[in-house]
A and B are shown apart, each in its own frame.
Chain A
């Protein structure tokens, strides 16, 4: 049946229809694999309108007709925030993505832009037929092909500070060249540094004509030569700069100057000078028609502002100068140096000096007149040179020894003994140990020879210097304490005795040296004495006046106060003072009663409850104490006040406890002088501290009930 096409036929047909004009090769695959583009029937409902990006633009009427945004919403795929949004909190100070103009163009604009683009040769390469009047351009093929843009070399030069139109090289010092209109002699001749002139490119022109070398012909008349402004002689500030600037350093051609041209001289070359003979034979330059200085000066070679010179290093064309002329110039002494300047005053050019033989003679030393006799006589003639001996040689040759030398000098002879003779064997051992050299002379332990030994008083004085200085008063106080019963070093009776003697010596009641331990060295003795000195400082009692003024944190009951006011905390500060005996004792490692102090502690009832203990007596008896209240401060104040008045049962209790503790630790109870500042108030010394009205915090604080006062002060009144 031919009514229905086979699938294969359809495919083949489709292929043919897809690309009906592909007669050779394989046609390209269809643009979209899914969409049949064979013009076959597609129902209306299946037809879709798509934009250039393939997006569906038209939708059914129920969905709004056409689409916008993301699924017809105002949001985007990422949500409400557009994908282009970048939070400045996270990406602070980040560069915003650079927008291109294309980003803001719609389809029409883009199409217009496409259309406006035209393919053309870049302007830089349109070198042929350039209208630029540039001599260097026309100089050679190389220049024609040169691009107008910046070559890499130019770029590099510009980076280094070069600018177009300048020459290359060090700066040149010359006068400012303003313009012709400026008054020629008006301003002071001030010179400035200028960039060097741009020398024209050296062009090697192939010679195709038969004109003489260096002949310019009518090229001389060219505009660029005439346009060159007359300029002063440049002063190059270095050799190199000057050399590079040769080409540009042309002198203005003077009309009267004789031409130094080539052979063929045409009417155009006639400069109007009568001196010239255009028909004279030979190079004109080699002839001088007049004899005379001034004429010759004019004839000096002027650098030609031409491009004809093949060698850029040469100022001018090589000319022939006869020896005679040269000699005449030399005689005149006005020859200029190569740089065009006159030689320095008093110098002449080396060329001018004819022969070396002359110059050799010139520098011979002056001849001494025969009759001349020197005024001085040479003293060396007197000395016998042959017998000279250096000091070192003389010393070597000398037969004198120290003894004989001493005799010669009239010195008393020292006993011929070494240091070791005076050393004790121990000292020698020390040296042996230190040096590791056992081969030392034996120590004899001799006494110093008579007349040299130290006087005994001096020796003792040296020892006295070793005894640490202790204030007399401190020593006396420490001694007083010792007398009253308490002293450190209880465990070592001998040491204690030594300490006592040391104190006596320091106090001045004893004049002998402090004792030392049997067999101990001086160093150990000194160390022990220093320790004694420190101990005495620690154990010295406070003087009465001072003790009444200050309380120390380690003198226990006085500081009992939790009051945070500044006066109290200031008083409790002496613990930080270095002279605090407790701190000092702790620093020298004497832990024990010295560093230990006990103060009352008034835990709140709630705390005791939480600790599951019965509140201590002082808390129980405190009438001001409110259970649960965090304020122990009024209570403590009253406690301390009561303590100072030596009343109150709790004080007695704690005193007992403390005394017991002290007895336990020390073995006895400290006595009145308070040898142990950590101990509580001594019983037989009434406390110097009384209740001062300005310091009575109880008055300033909230006034408690009368019962409180009665409980504390009531008994006092009765006692007194």
Chain B
């Protein structure tokens, strides 16, 4: 349903995880359910909006509908197929898990990465392909002890692997090795048959399968999130300099930039992204940019900008003690959104 005002009413809190939530994904059509992956090594399937959502107070859910537990390390990203029958998850295991939603078991496990896998996306016709991005196996600095995977610099062979779900081959279809540092984020835009990737080496690369060319955009700062707009003309990229940039995919020009310290809304609440993998997404039919944030002066929060005007239209604090909102997900079907927080809670606003 089309909405004109960005929803900021807190309607649901999912407190099912024990560790920081690294990935939040709505189920594909309708977005009734939400899949959350956390550093507590589990993936939980919960209702995005509780049945009694009309209650004026915030509903709190502590037990998920289904728990998917096979990961031995933190879960870093989740992707759901369009038919909601399967989903893929990656994490510190160096493996890519393909799950059966109904049975709660893994149907495929691909081994080929030699480091943590940071991002996963379904691609191809009928979600026949899984694209995964690997982190830098030789980090110069050890992993940040807390929160979501932290960033480090260094040079290594970091790869994007493309796996085939239809064949039983244990090898990836293709390996893309352009990135010189952790591939932190991926987004597949099937309208333009392209795979967008963002890396900590400060580049956003868009692999156009149909055209056979790769567009490299230098952002000069580690990229933590990339998203293609639904029409495929713009690329939204979050970088660690505290900006979210909207680039024209045609010529790489900057269409708009969101964030920066000046976007505070008066009470010292401003978007920050300087060391953690914070995701950003389009919302409300690409009219709004929605992003998580690191802890500022008044705790972490989620921020929404008007795409055209570049103004902050909503700054939603999630709590004083929350260190970061590492991931956000927008559900176009209902018009609500979820924020995965570092305190293990997933907060749904609608």
Contact = CB atoms under 8 A, between A and B. Distances in A.
Interface of A: 553-554, 562-564, 569, 572-573, 575-576, 580, 582-587, 589, 591-593, 595-604, 606-608, 610-619, 628, 630, 632, 654, 657, 661, 664-665
B248 to A, nearest CB: 9
A601 B212 contact: yes
Interface string B155-198: 10100001010100001111111101000000000100100000
B238 to A, nearest CB: 14
A576 B201 contact: yes
Contacts of B180: 569, 572-573, 575-576
9 contacts: A562-B175, A583-B218, A592-B254, A598-B215, A603-B207, A604-B174, A610-B128, A611-B124, A654-B213
Nearest to B208: A601
B211 interface: yes
Given A600-B213, A603-B209, A603-B212, A592 B253 contact: yes
Nearest to A583: B220
Nearest to A563: B177
A613 B193 contact: yes
B213 A599 contact: yes
Given A575-B203, A661-B251, A595 B219 contact: yes
A612 B125 contact: yes
A573 B155 contact: yes
B101 interface: no
A564 B157 CA distance: 7
B247 interface: yes
B193 to A, nearest CB: 5
B245 interface: yes
Nearest to B155: A573
Contacts of A564: 157, 177
B247 A591 contact: yes
Contact of A596 (B128, B176, B221, B251): B251
B252 interface: yes
A534 B214 CA distance: 29
Q: Please classify the interface of chain B as helix (H, G, I), strand (E, B), loop, or mixed, using the class held by over half of its residues.
A: loop
Contacts of B202: 575-576, 583, 586
A585 B218 CA distance: 9
B220 A610 contact: no
Nearest first, the 5 A-B pairs at minimum CB distance are A616-B212, A596-B252, A586-B220, A591-B254, A610-B124
Nearest to B179: A572
B207 A601 contact: yes
B65 interface: no
B250 interface: yes
Interface string B292-311: 00000000000000000000
B216 interface: yes
A575 B178 CA distance: 11
B60 interface: no
Contacts of A569: 155, 157, 177, 180
B125 A610 contact: yes
A491 to B, nearest CB: 12
A411 B196 CA distance: 79
Contacts of B193: 611, 613
B199 to A, nearest CB: 10
B251 A592 contact: yes
A619 B171 CA distance: 20
Contacts of A664: 250-251
Contacts of B128: 610
Interface residues of B, number: 48
Contacts of A554: 216, 218
Given A564-B157, A576-B180, A610-B124, A595 B217 contact: yes
B129 interface: yes
A597 B216 contact: yes
A616 B211 contact: yes
B147 interface: no
B232 to A, nearest CB: 14
A391 to B, nearest CB: 55
B288 interface: no
A665 B253 contact: yes
Nearest to B204: A595
Nearest to A619: B212
A598 B251 contact: no
Nearest to A587: B220
Nearest to A585: B218
A241 to B, nearest CB: 60
Given A586-B202, A597-B218, A611-B210, 12 more contacts: A580-B218, A584-B220, A598-B214, A601-B207, A606-B173, A610-B123, A610-B166, A611-B124, A615-B212, A628-B173, A630-B174, A632-B175
A610 B177 CA distance: 20
B251 A607 contact: no
Contact of A595 (B157, B174, B211, B252): B252
A462 B236 CA distance: 46
Chain B CB within 10 Å, residue with most, of A576, A589, A610: A610
Contact of A593 (B211, B212, B252): B252
Contacts of A615: 212
Contact of A592 (B173, B203, B252): B252
A553 B201 CA distance: 12
B207 A606 contact: no
Contacts of A601: 207-209, 211-214
A589 B215 CA distance: 18
Contact of A665 (B153, B155, B212, B251): B251
Chain A CB within 10 Å, residue with most, of B177, B215, B218, B219: B218
Contacts of A562: 175-178
Given A610-B164, A611-B125, A589 B254 contact: yes
B165 to A, nearest CB: 9
Contacts of B124: 607, 610-612
A602 B251 contact: no
Nearest to A615: B212
Contact of B129 (A596, A611, A616): A611
B278 to A, nearest CB: 19
B116 to A, nearest CB: 18
A584 B247 CA distance: 17
Given A562-B178, A576-B202, A593 B251 contact: yes
A598 B254 contact: no
B177 to A, nearest CB: 5
Contacts of B253: 591-592, 665
Interface string B257-300: 10000000000000000000000000000000000000000000
A650 to B, nearest CB: 8
A630 B173 contact: yes
Contacts of B177: 562-564, 569
B213 A591 contact: no
A600 B214 contact: yes
A369 B155 CA distance: 101
Nearest to B203: A575
Nearest to B243: A589
Contact of A598 (B210, B216, B218, B219): B216
A608 B129 CA distance: 11
Contacts of B217: 591, 595-596
Contacts of A616: 209-213
Contacts of A598: 213-216
Chain A CB within 10 Å, residue with most, of B123, B157, B213: B213
A684 to B, nearest CB: 24
A229 B96 CA distance: 93
Given A564-B177, A582-B218, A586-B220, A602 B157 contact: no
A664 B247 CA distance: 16
A582 B216 CA distance: 11
Given A562-B178, A575-B201, A599 B216 contact: yes
Nearest to A568: B177
A339 B345 CA distance: 82
B172 A630 contact: yes
Contacts of B125: 610-612
Nearest to A597: B216
A592 to B, nearest CB: 4
